[in-house]
Amino acid sequence: MQPLPPLRWQKATIARIVPQTPRVRSFFLKLSEPFAHKAGQHVDVRLTAPGGYQARRGYSIASAPDNGTGEIELCIEELEGGEVSPFFHEVAAVGDEIELRGPLGGHFIWTVGDGGPVLLIGGGSGIVPLMSIARHRAAMGSDAPMAMLYSTRTWDDVIFRDELLALHGKRDGFEFVLTLTRDVGKRDGFHARRVDSAMVLEAVEKLPAQPERIYICGSNPFVDAASDAAISAGAKPQTIRTERYGG
């Protein structure tokens, strides 16, 4: 088998910018060389300063595969001290060009052919690749049982909030469990604490059987805690796939 050629950097144009939360925006990028990706993959973004200094950052693709638009959606949180995210939030505008390459990643992916049950656990902006998976399921009309457990700080910090509630409301086998770790006052139907084994077990019990695949994405501490919680709730370690960001 011949090795795959190295991925090339290509130009992408910012077609739209959509606010998601006070600190998160979606950037819809029109690719000069459209590619097919799988749900859960990411791209590398490269910025070059006038003096030649380059900064790179990997961002998960939020859009579903094969959406037919020639665009991908990157959902980017502004991070203090970051090299790339402040550019997107403070400088980038519709019509600007950036460099990217991808798609990247072959471990943290799901296709409808993989079936279910599937458990998705995300913390903060770690929901982005999980959203691609949920959108892929919906776009393909899959009936694979899927539950998503999402942890974020406040109601206003829930990325893709309306879309997630709509997916849950379809009652087609997609279940949504939300916990808010810093909200003032508990909201009906949602938790108000960090992810623990009891919460993971609640999400699992919404599935018809033990999950065959578990995808966990978030910061390093979140992924460690959520993985431990999943195992304490009875998950088999070999079913868990993780994606981490940050230091």
State the pLDDT at residue 12. 96
Residues 50 and 140 in one domain: no
Residue 52 placed within a domain: yes
CA dist 245 → 86, 97, 124, 193, 236 (Å)? 17, 25, 11, 22, 23
Cite the beta strand spans of the chain per DSSP E: 10-21, 24-31, 42-48, 54-60, 71-77, 97-104, 118-123, 146-152, 174-180, 213-219, 240-245
Residues 96 and 138 in one domain: no
Residue that is last in its domain, among 78, 104, 130 = 104
State the pLDDT at residue 2. 46
Residue 84 placed within a domain: yes
Residues 54 and 123 in one domain: no
Task: Give the whole-angstrom CA distance, residue 196 versus residue 232.
Answer: 9
Residue 1 placed within a domain: no
Write down how long the chain is: 247
Residue that is last in its domain, among 104, 132, 155 = 104
Residues 94 and 116 in one domain: no
Boundaries of domain holding 159 = 112-245
State the pLDDT at residue 122. 97
Strands 213-219 and 240-245 turn out to be parallel
Residues 53 and 128 in one domain: no
Residues 154 and 67 in one domain: no
Using CB atoms within 10 Å of the CB of residue 60, give its burial: 0 to 12 exposed, 13 to 18 middle, 19+ buried: buried
Q: Which residues contact 2 (CB under 8 A, 6 or more apart)?
A: none
Residues 129 and 96 in one domain: no
Residues 88 and 36 in one domain: yes
3-state SS of 204-219 is HHCCCCCCCEEEEEEE
Residues 42 and 86 in one domain: yes
Residue 15 belongs to domain with CATH number: 2.40.30.10
Q: Phi-psi bin for 129: left (phi > 0), alpha (psi -120 to 50), beta? A: alpha
Using CB atoms within 10 Å of the CB of residue 134, give its burial: 0 to 12 exposed, 13 to 18 middle, 19+ buried: buried
Q: How many domains does the chain have?
A: 2
CA dist 15 → 35, 70, 186 (Å)? 17, 11, 38
State the pLDDT at residue 3. 47
Averaged pLDDT, groups of 10, the chain, 247 residues long: 67 96 96 94 91 89 85 93 89 95 94 94 96 96 96 95 94 94 75 90 93 96 94 92 81
Residue 169 placed within a domain: yes
Residue 230 belongs to domain with CATH number: 3.40.50.80
Cα–Cα nearest to 179, from 208, 222, 150: 150
Q: Report angle CA 112, 118, 124 to the nearest 5 degrees.
A: 105
Task: Give the whole-angstrom CA distance, residue 169 versus residue 185.
Answer: 24
Residues 192 and 161 in one domain: yes
Residues 240 and 164 in one domain: yes
Task: Give the whole-angstrom CA distance, residue 141 versus residue 228.
Answer: 32
Residue 55 placed within a domain: yes
Residue 59 placed within a domain: yes
Residues 73 and 118 in one domain: no
Residue that is last in its domain, among 77, 104, 131 = 104
Residue 2 placed within a domain: no
CA 143 to chain centre: 21
